[in-house]
Amino acid sequence: MTEIVVLGAGPAGAAAALGLRRLGYSVRVVSEWRRFAAVEGVSQRVLDGLRQAGLDRALACAAAPSPRRVQWNGDGQSINQECLLDRPQFDAAIREDLRAAGIEVLEARVLKVESTGDGQLIHLEPGDPLRADFLVEARGRQAPLAGGRLRGPETLSLLNQWQGAPGQPASAVESLPDGWAWMARLTDGRCYWQITLDARGLPPKEQLPDYCAHRRRDSALVRELFGAQALQPARLHARSSTAILFHEASGPNWLRVGDAAMAVDPLSGNGIFQSLSSALQASAVINTMIQRPACAELARRFHQRRVEHLFLRFARTGRDFYALEQRWPDAAFWRERRDWPDAEPMHASADFSRVRVERAPVIHGDLIEEADVVVTADQPLGIWHLQGIELAPIVSALHRGELTQALATLPEQPRRLVQGWLLVQGYRP
Q: How many CB atoms lie within 10 A of CB 347?
A: 11
Closest CA to 16 of 31, 1, 32: 31
Amino acid at 200: R
Q: How many CB atoms lie within 10 A of CB 389?
A: 16
Amino acid at 150: L
Residue 141 has a pLDDT of 87
Which residues of the chain carry a pLDDT beneath 50? none
Q: Give Rg (Cα) of the chain.
A: 23
Q: Are the C-beta atoms of residues 373 and 382 closer than 8 Å to each other?
A: yes
List Cβ neighbours of 76 (8 Å cut-off, separation of 6 or more).
none
DSSP H/E element including 81: strand 77-86
Q: What share of the chain in percent tops pLDDT 90?
A: 82
If you count DSSP H runs as helices and E runs as strands, how many of each does the chain have, helices first? 13, 24
Residue 79 has a pLDDT of 73
Residue 214 has a pLDDT of 96
Q: Cα–Cα distance between 391 and 41 in angstroms, integer?
A: 37
Q: How many CB atoms lie within 10 A of CB 391?
A: 22
The DSSP result for 336-382, as a single string, is HHTT-S-S--SSPPP-GGG-EEEEEEEEETTEEEEEEEEE-SS-TT-
Q: Which fold has domain 3-63+86-152+242-337?
A: FAD/NAD(P)-binding domain (3.50.50)
* Strands, sheet with 244-246, edge to edge from the N-terminal-most edge strand: 149-151, 244-246, 262-263
Q: Are the C-beta atoms of residues 310 and 262 closer than 8 Å to each other?
A: yes
List Cβ neighbours of 424 (8 Å cut-off, separation of 6 or more).
350
Would you kindly state where each structural domain of the chain is located, as residue ranges?
3-63+86-152+242-337, 155-240, 352-424
Q: Cα–Cα distance between 180 and 64 in angstroms, integer?
A: 25
Residue 10 has a pLDDT of 94
Residue 143's SS3 state is: coil
Q: Does CATH place domain 155-240 in 3.30.720?
A: no
Closest CA to 191 of 218, 168, 157: 168
Q: Cα–Cα distance between 47 and 62 in angstroms, integer?
A: 8
Q: Cα–Cα distance between 231 and 183 in angstroms, integer?
A: 13
Residue 226 has a pLDDT of 93
Sign of the four-CA dihedral 300, 122, 105, 36: negative
Residue 148 has a pLDDT of 85
Residue 286 has a pLDDT of 98
Burial (Cβ within 10 Å: 0-12, 13-18, ≥19) of residue 134: buried
Residue 269 has a pLDDT of 64
Q: Cα–Cα distance between 314 and 319 in angstroms, integer?
A: 9
Residue 356 has a pLDDT of 96
- Helices (DSSP H) in 241-281: which residue ranges? 271-280
Helices 282-291 and 11-22, packing angle to 10 deg:
50
The residues facing 163 across adjacent strands are 190
List Cβ neighbours of 3 (8 Å cut-off, separation of 6 or more).
26, 28, 119, 131, 132, 133, 134
Fold match flag (3-63+86-152+242-337 vs 155-240): no
Q: Are the C-beta atoms of residues 196 and 267 closer than 8 Å to each other?
A: yes
Q: Are the C-beta atoms of residues 160 and 226 closer than 8 Å to each other?
A: no
Residue 268 has a pLDDT of 66
